[in-house]
Structure 1
Amino acid sequence: MIYQFGLNLWSFFIGAFSLLLLWRAVEAFEWAWLRPRRLDRELRKQGLRGTMYRSISGDVKENNRLNNEARAKLMPHSHDITARVEPMLHCAMKEYGKQSFTWYGPYPRVTIRDPKLVREILSNKFGHYEKQKVSGFVRLLADGLLIYEGEKWHKHRRILNPAFHLEKLKRMLPAFSTCCDELVGRWENSAGLDGLFELDVWPELQNFTGDVISRSAFGSSYQEGRRIFQLQGEQAECLVKAFRTHYIPFYWYLPTKNNKRMKQIDREVETLLRGMITKREKAIQNGESTQDDLLGLLLESNMREMGQNGKSDSSHGMTTEEVIEECKLFYFAGKDTTSVLLTWTMIVLSMHPEWQEKAREEVLQHFGREKPDFSGLSRLKIVTMILYEVLRLYTPVAMLNRHTYKTVQLGDVTLPPGVVLGLPLLFIHHDSDIWGPDATEFKPTRFAGGISKAAKDGQGAFFPFGWGPRICIGQNFALLEAKMGLSMILQHFVFELSEKYQHAPCTVITVHPEHGAPIKFHRI
């Protein structure tokens, strides 16, 4: 009797487990084949064209192949870089049209190049679009404000806003200036008796912006911040490797060498940041100054938020873990965006020495040999136009993604839920229908009347920092840092491209110079 009962119970469990496996198999078949085919039909029925869906890897393999082909070739000293930076999109739009689609794993990614529609998506006035869900890979590098949605995003943005107010940024100028002094001094020491020298400015400017974010974010603890900067740089390289296999289900959980290293880096960064945050919180509670650095301002704002209405709990502010994630984001966004901008600016000004000279004359007219101050930096018109034009031609983030979670009408197309919207900022910034026949030429004067009048017919088509409520909170920080750095370089050096320079823009999260940026300098 007991034996028969046990046998029946075992049979029941086997049957239940089989049903569960069958259910999961049906779910997987729906996710990997039925739904993508259904979405493909719905898009094509409305006149959209694109690549064929064949497997859950989508177009990832073809994208990798085209990237490898593009990187195997050097390009002339031209600013027409879209085909090398995003070869898959370039080929797809050339064959299927500007509003076409490719496959991002089992999800169709529809490219949206109409600036009006891009603004509608990024403004998200009616809440139709969401940021694409990110994998554990991305969260190890940067979480926080970049990823959050809804009320959590609103809370974090409200707490962070005071730290990035223009008046607060003015107080960080001495930190910027100190880092610039160290950079210029190091470069001057590289010069020979004739004042000539050559170096690769790409790693130099990465170190410079890493030092700036270390000092401005962590004040007197900037040496500890430098270690975080080094680890975050390695994490970005690991992330690029992980992207090549992110479409494989559960790959994140496999104990590969790359996955284990990413998690190890994350633990070390978290330990360093937790120690710095705890130390600073105690200092603020003891009445010590916040030092006007980003961490101090953030913690002070967070404590005010948590203390509202006499309630001192994390529901009114950020937890320590959330502060850690925002600090990681400071590093990634603050270091990478500005180093990319400054590097491409120096490359472009080496290609266009007449604009380098115009910028130098403006800087010397405002500051002479004195250190730039805030009011003077805000009056630099030529330098500002140059930086905007470099941001247009070498947009740091080439593509933004959003996705639909319900049926929405976008322009004359009805998009079903589950569609990724690819906003190819680099392509929009190079579009001759928007910017005119000279769209791929370096022409800073197009910004002489400001951003709103730069594009053809006054189209608002300039998105280097995004758009709408989620526009980059650190854009003023990045531009102020870039103006200070470029101004002090122009004060001390004339520069040109080295014969070793190879023009090879490529995407490593942001648009990097693949083979560095060797430049020849003459000390003034």
Structure 2
Amino acid sequence: MVITMGKVVLVILIGVIVRWGWQLLFWAWLKPRKLEKWLRNEGFKGNPYKLVMGDLKEFATMMKEAKSKAMPITHDIAPYALPFDYHIINKYGKRSYMWFGPTPRVYIMEPELIKEILSRHNEFQKPHPDPLRDSIIGGLFESEGQKWVKHRHIIKPAFYVENIKSMFMTMSLSCNELIKQWETITSGNGPVEFDVWPSIDNMGSDVISRTSFGSCYEEGQKIFRIQKEQIDLAFQQMSMFFLPGGRFIPTKASKKFKENDKELRAMLHLIINKRKKSIEMGEEINDDLLGVLLKSNLKQIEEDGDGMSMDDVVEECKLFYVAGSETTSNLIVWTIICLSTHQEWQTKAREEVIQVFGTGELHFDGLKNLKIVTMILNEVLRLYPPGVMVIRGTTKETKLGNMMIPSGVEIIIPILNIHHDHETWGEDATMFRPERFSGGVVNATKEGGLGSFLPFSGGPRICIGQNFAMVEAKLAIAKILQRFSFELSPSYTHAPFPVFSLPPQFGAHLTLRKI
């Protein structure tokens, strides 16, 4: 009997090992080779598949090399910011692919196909799981299906024009503090050289802290400081995230990350519960993002009996920082850098601001009259998009244009490369020419612009906070132009490098003069 039971256990063990071995073989070799053949038959080109690693080694080497050196002061940043993607597209053409481990990622650059992918968001969804993304960004950004529909419906009122307008004075307060800080720095005679990036980055966090949490502004600042540290810690662990079970290895960074996450959630729970109790007691609801979100959520629960849970609200609050603060801060700093290198446009923009507002306070309704500033911001968003790419995936065989895309393939819409594409934007595609937007976004390219200009993505999942970001950017740029002229410092180092957004890796050293 003992021998028989031993044989049974052995047979089961062998069966498990064989099954695991087959699954591993299929994942690491058979499936990638099958997908490679399929993609080549559909006209895609790329490097031959390498066992397990794919192109990751070459990808990491190129990124490390690019990050370690400065680049010339040029707007042609794709070879430096996304060196491997630039290399593959240049080598194999617009219909090419790379290997992200055993998963092929195909590049799609045709405007009509891009519009199709972004409009069919239920068929082309964000790949799940994505350990690095999911460790930092949750909420509306990563949700899918009915959960996404429900969350977007609840959150949308927070970004209605009338609510953004009600937050305008709060935004203005944060911008005024930046101006005062710079006026103190430049209070002596003559120009002053310093790195403006930290103060612009802080202003972005300050705006989101005030507009998100209102009276809980100080707690909001603490939350966003922790969230910023979480981004740094996540990138320290990036290589670990993609190892099977790597996120559970107790490194110093992973321990700190978990401690921060626990503290972050506890703080947000306190703020949200305090605000919910105020609403239940009939107190006046603040016009900040959290207040409007909770009011909208309460309405959803009353109407349908199903709203956002506490954890859902926590995730949306965490998303406010990355999606709101990072995006707008980057837009503002790259606008200032571009205007530093193109003084004629700095002069035109300043003259327009003075014509509309004089040297006094700005008002919300006047922003729509800043036509030149809007053209400049669109051109900066084209050259330095806050999100350098959009990634989608297939879970079943899916038709795209005249192609069939197999299940298990990821699709890259390389926004930075598309924004710099000579066929779409002309021979001056990598030059700063705001006048290309004089007829609006729709008329900026021969294809109609909408499938070629994607700073906030596109389709139904277009960034819900894009109007908020543009109002804040116009406000900040106009106030800076009223008070200062600026140019690049000799110590400025040009290095846009993608993290979650596209910050200046070595800061933004400028020479400022008070007007």
TM-score by length of 1: 0.95
Of 238, 246, 263 in structure 2, the residue corresponding to residue 268 of structure 1 is 263
What is the alpha-carbon distance in structure 2 between the residues aligned to residue 228 and residue 333 of structure 1? 14
| Match 1:193 to one of 176, 188, 196 | 188
The 8 Å contact of residues 240 and 247 in structure 2, kept in 1 or not, is answered as no
Alignment of 1:240-319 (within 5 A): 240-308=235-303, 311=305, 316-319=306-309
Whether 1:236 and 2:231 are equivalent positions in the alignment is yes
Deviations 1:267-318 (A, max 9, x none): 1111111110010000111111222000000011111111116x4xxxx101
Deviates more, 1:210-219 or 1:489-498: 489-498
- Name the amino acid aligned to 2:497: C
Residue 140 of structure 1 deviates from its aligned partner by 2.7
SS at match of 2:511: strand
Amino acid in the other structure paired with 1:238: L
The 3 A distance-change label for structure 1 pair 371 and 8 is farther
1:247 deviates by 3.0
- The residue number in structure 1 matching 2:130 is 135
Name 1:98's counterpart in structure 2: 94
**Range 232-241 or range 381-390, more displaced:** 232-241
Q: State the one-letter code of the partner of 1:67.
A: M
Residues paired across the two proteins, number: 514
> Cα–Cα, structure 1 residues 301 and 459, in superposed 2: closer, same or farther, change >3 Å?
closer
Q: Does 1:159 align with 2:150?
A: no
Q: Given that residues 57 and 247 in structure 1 are in contact (C-alpha distance below 8 angstroms), is that contact kept between their aligned partners in structure 2?
A: no
Matched, 1:70 2:66: yes
Match of 2:354 in 1: 364
- The alignment status of 1:24 with 2:14, answered yes or no, reads no
1:271-420 correspondence to structure 2 within 5 Å: 271-308=266-303, 311=305, 316-420=306-410
Shift of 1:93: 1.0
1:344-392 CA-partner distances (Å, limit 9, x unpaired): 0010000001101111111111111222111101221000000000000
1:502 and 2:498 are equivalent in the alignment: no
2:176 is aligned to 181
Q: Equivalent residue of 1:199, what SS? A: strand
Aligned residue in 2 for 1:470:
461
* TM alignment of 1:115-130, pairs within 5 A: 115-124=111-120, 127-130=122-125
The Cα shift of 1:10 comes to 4.9
In structure 1, distance between residues paired with 2:135 and 2:412: 23
Which residue number corresponds to residue 54 of structure 2? 58
Deviations 1:466-513 (A, max 9, x none): 101100000001000101111111111111111100111111121121
Unpaired segments of 5 or more residues in structure 2? Answer: none
Q: Aligned equivalents of 1:133 and 1:220: distance in 2?
A: 36
Matched-pair contact (CA < 8 Å) for 1:184–1:489: yes
Q: 1:418 to 1:498 in 2, by over 3 A?
A: same
2:131/2:241 contact within 8 Å kept: no
Q: For the residues of structure 1 that align with 2:80 and 2:238, how far apart are their CA atoms?
A: 18
Deviates more, 1:191-200 or 1:361-370: 191-200
Give the Cα separation in 2 of the matches to 1:472 and 1:174: 23
| Structure 1 residue 11, shift from structure 2 partner | 4.3
In 2, Cα distance between the equivalents of 1:181 and 1:54? 55
Corresponding residue for 1:482? 473
Query: What is the rounded CA distance, in whole Å, between the counterparts of 2:124 and 2:87 in structure 1?
Result: 27
Distance 1:174 1:361 in 2: 23
Q: Deviations over 1:218-271 (max 9, x none)?
A: 001111111111111111122223333433212122222222222222111111
Partner Cα distance (1:352, 1:245) in 2: 42
Q: CA deviation at 1:457?
A: 4.6
Which one of the candidate residues 502, 507, 517 is aligned to 2:508? 517
Separation in 1 of the partners of 2:76 and 2:102?
Answer: 31
* Amino acid corresponding to residue 501 of structure 2 in structure 1: T
Counterpart contact for 2:326–2:501, Cα < 8 Å: yes
Range with bigger deviation, 73-82 or 408-417: 408-417
Counterpart CA distance in 2 for 1:149 and 1:327 is 18
CA distance in 2: counterparts of 1:272 and 1:135, whole angstroms: 26
Distance (whole Å) between structure 2 residues aligned to residue 71 and residue 245 of structure 1: 20
* RMSD of aligned Cα (Å): 1.5
* Partner SS for 2:485: strand
Query: Secondary structure of 1:153's partner?
Result: helix
- Unaligned runs of at least 5 residues, structure 1: none
Distance in 1, matches of 2:301 and 2:25, equals: 47
Question: For 2:206 and 2:322, how far apart are their aligned partners in 1?
Answer: 13
Name the residue aligned to 1:211. 206
Residue equivalent to 1:43: 39
After TM superposition, give the deviation of residue 72 of structure 1 in Å: 3.2
| Cα gap change, 1:44 to 1:136, in 2 (>3 Å) | closer
CA distance in 1, matches of 2:302, 2:171: 32
For residues 244 and 43 of structure 1, what CA distance do their matches in structure 2 show?
28
Q: Residue type matched to 1:158 in 2?
A: H
SS at match of 1:509: coil
Asked if the contact 2:441–2:449 (Cα under 8 Å) also holds between the matched residues in 1, the reply is: no
- Opposite residue 445 of structure 2, the aligned amino acid is A
Amino acid in the other structure paired with 1:326: E
Does the 8 A contact of 1:366 with 1:376 survive in 2? yes
More displaced 10-residue stretch of structure 1: 453-462 or 347-356: 453-462
- Give the one of 409, 433, 438 matched to 1:448: 438
Contact 1:57 1:248 in 2 (8 A): no
| TM-superposed deviation, 1:197 | 2.0
Residue type matched to 2:496 in 1? P
Measure how far apart 1:142 and its partner are.
1.3
SS of 1:455's equivalent in the other structure is: coil
Instruction: Determine if contact 1:436/1:456 at 8 Å carries over to the other structure.
Output: no
Residue 405 of structure 1: how far off its partner (Å): 1.4
